Amino acid sequence: MIDSVVQQWMARLQACGHDVCLMLDSQNEQNMRQSLLASGPFDLFASIYRGTQLAELADSGPFIFIVDPAQYRRLEPLLSRPQENWGWLASIAPGELQTWVKHWQARMIIGQRPHQALYRFDDNRVLTKALQQLPEHALPAYLGQATSVCYWNDSHWQTIDNPAPGSYPVPDQPMWLNMRPQAEQAITVRRANMHRYLLAEHEEAYLRLAEQDSQHIWLRQLLEQAENWAWQTPEQLLFLLTQRLQAPDHPQPSYWRPEPGETPTEHFERVVQTRKFWQMETPL
């Protein structure tokens, strides 16, 4: 059943004539994405990375779906497990989808080459962090055409309205990028350490990533995935790093996803054993 906060939010925006959108983190929800793409009611959608410098990541990047009001219950598989951080909901005025896509395309890359990083606005935790700290006057430049958003905030659903939806240039010093808690700093340090390790131990495979100009983005995504799974020990990070380096352009097998109720340690041990099985090293 859809949570009452989400139901009321959807009903309010529908009554205002706005389109309800799903911002989906496609990297960890490829099955759901394919299901939505195959569903007739979801006739309006967009891949944010497609047609950009991140086009090679489009298959695992964020997608936006405009949801038919009569089919809101198709979202129940997602709404029933918000703690898995699959994305968030928003509303936009009719006809604003492509404009809103361009809004996020202008904000998806942080910094300048060769030190670029990926801003994961499709992650509800990143969105929550920004909305908790941004003053009201900074919300329009951050949310753009979104008239309202509905997102999972750690333990509950929360909503916030945009005081002035519209098109805004990216500020010279975006306030949402100045919020770097210790966890973010730790990711930066780990990324630098991984970069040095890969150059020292897996130079040939790592340099192949450089040909696609995606080393830093790839490392950032890998560390964010490790953080999402609470894989923080050297053994866990090394395993994730080396296994993904073997096939950086291929989606992760479905068995890598954490199962309900599984602790990070249990999750890691199961993936390791399953990986060994598929490599014909040991029986399950």
Going by C-beta distance under 8 Å and a sequence separation of 6 or more, which residues neighbour residue 275?
A: 243
Taking 90 as the threshold, does the pLDDT of residue 147 lie above it? yes
Phi-psi region of 189 (alpha: psi -120 to 50; beta: other; left: phi over 0): alpha
* Mean pLDDT across 258-272: 88
Give kind and range of the element (H or E) at residue 37: helix 30-37
Q: How confident is the model at residue 283 (pLDDT cuts 50, 70, 90)?
A: very low
pLDDT digits (tens, 9 = 90+) for 150-191: 999 988 999 999 999 999 999 998 999 876 554 555 666 677
**pLDDT tens-place string over residues 51-87:** 999 898 888 899 999 998 887 888 999 999 999 999 9
The reported pLDDT for the residue numbered 12 is 95
Residues 238-252 pLDDT 10s: 888 888 887 766 777
Helical spans, DSSP H, in 144-214: 182-201, 203-210
Domain ranges of the chain: 4-177, 182-278
| Tokens found for residue 257 | 């996803």
Instruction: Please determine, for residue 201, whether its predicted confidence score (pLDDT) is greater than 90.
Output: no
> In one letter, which amino acid is 15?
A
Q: What is the mean pLDDT of residues 207-215?
A: 66
Q: Is the pLDDT of residue 118 over 90?
A: no
Q: What is the pLDDT of residue 243?
A: 86
Residue 245 corresponds to which tokens in the numbers above? 């380096």
Residue with tokens 């959807």: 10
| Share of residues in the chain with pLDDT > 90 (%) | 42
Rounded average pLDDT over 15-37: 90
Question: Taking the C-alpha atoms of 214, 219, 220 and 225 in order, what is their torsion angle to the nearest 10 degrees?
Answer: 130
Q: How far apart are alpha carbons 119 and 220 in whole angstroms?
A: 9
Residues contacting 130, CB < 8 A, separation 6+: 142, 176, 179
Residue 213: predicted pLDDT: 53
**In this structure, how many other beta carbons lie within 10 angstroms of the beta carbon of residue 121?**
21
